[in-house]
Amino acid sequence: MRMSENGSSTRKPTLFEAVLAVCVAAVCIGTGVLVLGVDVHIPLVFSAAFVCLMGRYLLHFQWKDMEEGMFRGILAGLQAVLILMIVGMIIGSWIQGGIVPTLIYYGLSILSPSIFLLATLIICSIVSLATGTSWGTSGTVGLALIGIAAGLGVPMPLAAGVVISGAYFGDKMSPLSDTTNLAPAVSGTTLFSHIRAMVSTTLPTYVIVAIITIVLGLRFAGGTLDVTRIVAFQKLLAAEFNISVVALIPPIVVVLLAALRFPAIPSLFAGVVLGGIMILLQGSGLGTMVTAIHYGYSPAFSAEVAGAESLDAVAGILAAQGVSDVAPELAQEVGGMLSDLLERGGLDSMMWTVSLILCALSFGGVMERCGILEVLLQALLRHVKSVTGLVTSVIISCIVSNIFLGDQYVAIVLPGRMFKPAFDEKGLHPRMLSRSLEDSGTLTSVLVPWNTCGAYHASVLGVPTIQYLPFAFFNYLNPIMAIALTAMGKSIFWRKDTDEDIVSV
C-alpha cells in the first residue's frame, strides 16, 4: 500500500492490471478509429474513463488524485497548444500572402526525367515543410506527381513510397507540424531544441534516401516528362497569387531565428507578422489579412475553376485571368487539387488538434497518476541497461502503439509519458526522448495498413500500403539510423544542470 497526495491509502497496479488498461484502450481506440471510422478523441475519453474506474475501485485513488494527474498531463502540453495556435495563424497568412504557393511554384520547376524521383522527394519535402502536413502534401502535390510518374513509366508503388518519404520528412521537421509540437510537449523540451536534435538522425537518413532515388531514377532517364500538368499547376498558382522571391523572406527569417535559438513562440509569431505584411503586398486589405490569420485561406481562382459547371465555363474563367496553353479539363483537375491544398490554415483550424492533444494528455496523465505507466515501464526495462536499449525500447513501443492503437498521436503520447522517468533517471536530455518518439511514432504510422495514416495514404495515392511500404525508404530507415547512431555513441544528448531547453512537466 502507498499513500496518495490527499493522504488516502492506494496500491500499485499489478502487471496484469496495467496490461489490461492498455488492452482496453487499444480495443476502444482501434474500434473507434478503424471500425467505426470516427475521430480518436471520444475513444480516448472513454479509455481515460476506464482507467479512472480502475483507479477508483481497484487501486483506491480518490477522484481528486486522478483529476490532478489529468491536469498535470495537460499542463505539459500547454506550450504546444499555444505554438499550434500560432502555427495555424502562420499557415493561413503564408498561403494568403503567397509564400506557400511560391514554394510550390519553384519546387515544381526542378522536375526532369533523369532526376524525377529525387525531385519528387525534394518537392514533397518542401511542400510538407511549408505546410506542416504530410496528408495535405500527399493528397495534392503528391497525387499530381503520381500522375506524372505514370507517364514516365515509373512504378506506382515506387513513386508513392518516394512521395511519402518526402511528405513525412517535412511533417517530421516542420515547426508547423502538430506531431513536431506534440513530441517535445510530452517529453519536456522546447520545439526548436527538439528540431535541432532530430537533425542528427534525420539528415543522414535523408541523404541516404536521396542517393537511393538518384540511383533508381537513372532507370527512367530516357522517359519523356509530361510538362503540361506542371505548367498547369504553375499558371494557376501565378493567376491566383503574386509569385515572387520576396515571398521566401518570411520562412528564411523564421529558420534564422530558430538557428539563433530564439524562443519558439516569438520566433513563430514573427512569421505571422511577416505573413501579414505579405498579404498586404499581395494587394489585400486589413480585413482579408485578419480573416486569413483567424480562419485560414479560402481559395478564389482555383476554386472557381474547379467548381465551373462546364469546360466552356472553365475556358472563359481562364481567358479572363489571362491563362493560356492550359486545357480546360486539365485546368479543372489541377484547380481542384490546388483548392484542396490551399484551403487550410488559420487559428480555428488548429482547434481539432488542440482538443485531441488535451484528450490524449488527459489519458496519459491519469495513466501515469495511477501508476500504470510505471508498472509497464518496469516490466519493459527490466533487462535494459544501456542508452541504446532505452532508445530502442521507445522506438519499438511507438511501432507497437501504431500497430495496436491505430493512431500516431497516441503512439507519441503514451510511450512519451511512459518513458520520460527512465530518460530522466538516466540523465538524458528530454530531446533524446522527443527525437525517438518522432523517429518512430510519426514515421511508422504510415507503414501500418489499418493505422489512420496508412489507410489515408493508401486511399489518396491509390496504392495499397503493403505495396508502397518497401519504397517508403525514409520512414523505415530513420528508426534504424536512430538506433545505429545511439549504439555508436553518436548524437546522444545528456541533461545539464542548467539548460533552458528543458521544460518542467
Domain extent listing, the chain = 16-65+353-488, 79-349
* Rounded Cα–Cα distance for residues 458 and 472 (Å): 12
Cα-based distances in Å from 319 to 3, 302, 335, 443: 76, 14, 15, 44
Q: Which DSSP string corresponds to 459-503?
A: HHHTS-HHHHGGG-HHHHHHHHHHHHHHHTT-S--B--SS-TTB-
- 39 SS3 class: coil
Closest residue by Cα to residue 433 from 478, 495, 382: 495
The pLDDT of residue 138 is 81
Residue type at 393?
A: S
The pLDDT of residue 99 is 86
Count CB neighbours of 39 within 10 A: 16
Compute, in degrees rounded to 10, the torsion defined by CA atoms 196, 101, 235, 123.
20
Residue matched to cell numbers 519558439: 264
Count CB neighbours of 257 within 10 A: 18
The pLDDT of residue 470 is 94
Distance of CA 392 to the CA centre of its chain: 21
Threshold 0.85, pTM exceeds: no
* Rounded Cα–Cα distance for residues 84 and 88 (Å): 6
- Residues whose CB falls within 8 Å of the CB of residue 52, separated by 6 or more in sequence, listed in order: 63, 66, 366
* Rounded Cα–Cα distance for residues 11 and 274 (Å): 54
Per-residue confidence in pLDDT tens, the chain, 505 aa: 555 555 567 788 898 998 898 889 888 888 887 788 888 789 889 999 999 999 988 888 888 888 988 888 787 667 767 877 887 888 889 889 998 788 778 877 766 777 889 989 998 898 888 777 787 788 667 876 776 776 566 888 999 999 999 999 988 998 888 889 889 988 888 888 899 999 999 999 999 999 999 998 888 766 666 678 778 888 898 898 999 899 989 888 887 886 677 777 888 889 899 999 999 998 889 999 999 999 988 888 888 988 888 898 989 999 888 888 888 888 898 888 788 778 878 898 878 878 877 887 788 788 878 888 778 777 877 777 789 999 999 999 888 888 766 678 878 888 888 888 889 888 899 999 999 999 999 999 899 877 778 877 887 787 888 899 999 999 999 999 999 999 999 888 988 744 556 654 4
Taking each helix axis as running N to C, give the angle between helix 227-240 and helix 143-152, from 0 to 180 degrees, rounded to the nearest 10: 150
The answer to whether residues 308 and 269 touch, using CB atoms and an 8 Å cutoff, is no
Q: Within 13 Å and on the Cβ side, how many CA atoms surround 310? A: 3
The pLDDT of residue 502 is 60
The answer to whether residues 433 and 419 touch, using CB atoms and an 8 Å cutoff, is yes
Q: Which DSSP string corresponds to 252-267?
A: HHHHHHHHTT--HHHH
